[in-house]
Amino acid sequence: MRYYVMTLFPEMIEQAMSTSIMGRAVSEGFIELKVMNIRDFTLDKHGKVDDYPYGGGAGMVMEAEPIYRCFEQICSEVGERPRVVYLTPQGDVFSQCMAKDFSAESDIVFLCGHYEGVDERVLEEIVTDYVSIGDYVLTGGELPALVMMDAIARLVPGVLNNEDSAETESFSDGLLEYPQYTRPVEILGRSVPEVLMSGHHEKIRQWRQEQSVQRTRERRPDLYEQWAEENLR
């Protein structure tokens, strides 16, 4: 899978994507990352990429031209029109279900906006998906793009060491994860639950399932209702 990121802050993307599991996914070739600096595509001799908003008002608006020229270069590399995600609080709220949908693509383009926004005309021309990562306001689309790339990449075969770890955990079956323990057997006056040391695999599986259900009911009643609807009724 190949990610293209159109941004004015390429270091922000490169940094985060060179670390931990994403770093390994890139260096081992499971994910190909092409970070495009929108500033490299302006024809303006001073490298200007934004301008005042028509109609007045605060802040600057990112110009259509450099973004469109950047997109054209991406299209010529991909050979067809890829999905283009514009990160905006006005988009559909990102979910595990959307991550799964995107993980089937061979190429995804992320357009990161800044300032007061992006000239609407280039959005109309190239964007296929408007995505938000939640109901709060960030200064730019880079962190949301990173969030999406992480959530999508871990569904790509090979990115996680453990074959089934993406499937058995939180959300895959609509429940939150059960609690985990490691050595020592006692610390801070608390012991590891007996059943986990019993070696009885079926009992362990049952206990974990019960913990997941209980935890979901307490911490995310909204998710619990959905799960109960699909599994109990």
Query: Interface residues with ligand 6GU (CB under 6 A)?
Result: 87-89, 131-134, 136-138, 140-141, 144
| Cα dihedral across residues 92, 94, 98, 99: positive or negative | positive
Q: How far is the CB of 131 from ligand 6GU (least distance, A)?
A: 6
CB nearer to ligand 6GU: give 97 or 188: 97
The distance of closest approach from Cβ of residue 116 to ligand 6GU in the complex, given in angstroms and rounded to an integer, is: 11
In terms of CB distance, is 110 or 224 closer to ligand 6GU?
A: 110
- CB 149 to ligand 6GU: min, Å: 13
Beta strands in 38-161 (DSSP E): 50-51, 61-62, 83-93, 107-111, 129-132
Least distance from C-beta 76 to ligand 6GU, angstroms?
27
Q: Which residues contact 130 (CB under 8 A, 6 or more apart)?
A: 85, 86, 88, 90, 91, 92
Residue found by looking up tokens 């109609």 in the block: 55
State whether the Cα torsion 37-124-134-156 is positive or negative.
negative
Angle, alpha carbons 158-160-163 (nearest 5°): 75
Residue (88 or 103) nearer to ligand 6GU, CB:
88
Closer to ligand 6GU by CB, 43 or 97: give it.
Answer: 97
- For residue 132, the Cα-to-chain-centroid distance in whole angstroms is 10
Q: Counting Cβ atoms within 10 Å, is residue 6 exposed (0-12), middle (13-18) or buried (19+)?
A: buried
| Residues contacting 173, CB < 8 A, separation 6+ | 227
Smallest separation (angstroms) from ligand 6GU to the CB of 95: 13
Q: Which is nearer to ligand 6GU, 143 or 228 (CB)?
A: 143
Least distance (Å) from ligand 6GU to the CB of residue 117? Answer: 9
Interstrand relation of 107-111 and 83-93 (parallel, antiparallel or unpaired): parallel
Task: Please state the φ and ψ torsions of residue 39, each to the nearest 5 degrees.
Answer: -60, -25
Pick the closer one to ligand 6GU by CB: 118 or 213: 118
